[in-house]
Structure 1
């Protein structure tokens, strides 16, 4: 054991007696933690951004449903149009989704048309598609749940 200690002390003796290696050692210790911290900040920022986009989509769909008049049969229903507005921000199909992976098949939103108190409820559950950093840290999938209620006004 003493021989091992003498070997290790002899190996690192040049670094102990000078301060040239201090900055390198400190950087080797600090950089992984700072990198992980920065990646976590970016990831949680992305989660909050997606939540805000989902809230905006549900709010827009609820506003549309609160003013929507039933349409004739060949035209899309109010619910179909509200879903497109929620997912794409417009009534046109084929544009970019507000949130990646949310609303690919237009079934991720539940629209409850009229409750007994005259409100329309629009709700969704979305599983956040995280980066590999969360998987590496062992963090389970994050589920974003949101809803919006709007009073039915009609035309």
Structure 2
């Protein structure tokens, strides 16, 4: 038995195959982890862009006058569409699963009638990350991404 073990230990045939079989699973997991992290960062960047776009739109809105007219009236629904889709008319979602009005908070809910230097617009967006099936199998806890943006009210 010892002779067979010594002979087996000195034999180098198949070493490359064994090294490959050990390295490929580790490298595959590493590559998939990098891709998942990149996808997560892309979704966060899209969330940030949507929140900033909605805040910029809402900061430039003019309040309705007493007779309910304005040069370019705005509504909060359009601000939400800009955040969620990037277009005032709607379209496909920037971030998968980010389309519920409760996931985007816009404050104030109507433009100030008499804005001053302290009038601010604050928009907060929150979304639960939608992972790939591979990542979801290993990590079950939901990952919540949030972002808020504040800008001064400018009006038109």
Question: Normalised by the shorter chain, which TM-score bucket?
Answer: 0.7 to 0.9
Sort the Cα spacing of 1:14 and 1:133 in 2 relative to 1 into closer, same or farther, 3 A: farther
TM-score under structure 2 length normalisation: 0.80
**Contact 2:51–2:124, Cα closer than 8 Å, also in 1:** yes
- What is the Cα deviation at residue 124 of structure 1? 1.5
Pairs within 5 Å for 1:19-98: 19-70=12-63, 72=68, 77-93=74-90, 95-98=91-94
State the distance in 1 between where 2:103 and 2:42 align: 18
Q: TM-score, normalised to structure 1's length? A: 0.80
1:32-75 deviation digits (Å, cap 9, x = unpaired): 111001000000101111111110111100000000123559xx
Question: Which protein, 1 or 2, shows the higher relative CO under an 8 Å CA cutoff with sep ≥ 6?
Answer: 2
The Cα offsets for residues 93-137 of structure 1, whole Å up to 9 and x where unpaired, read as: 2x111111111x333200011799311100021110112333333
Moved over 4 A (4+): 12-15
Is the aligned partner of 1:101 residue 2:97?
A: yes
Please give the alpha-carbon distance, in whole angstroms, between the structure 1 residues aligned to 2:10 and 2:41: 49
Please give the root-mean-square deviation of Cα atoms over the aligned residues, in Å: 2.8
Partner of 1:129: 130
The runs of 5 or more residues in structure 1 that have no matched partner are 1-5
1:20 & 1:60 partners in 2: Cα distance? Answer: 62
Query: What is the Cα deviation at residue 18 of structure 1?
Result: 2.8
Q: 2: distance between equivalents of 1:14 and 1:149?
A: 72
Query: 1:23, CA displacement in angstroms?
Result: 0.7
The structure that is helix-richer by fraction is 1
Aligned residues between the structures: 145
User: Which ranges in structure 2 are unaligned for 5 or more consecutive residues?
Assistant: none
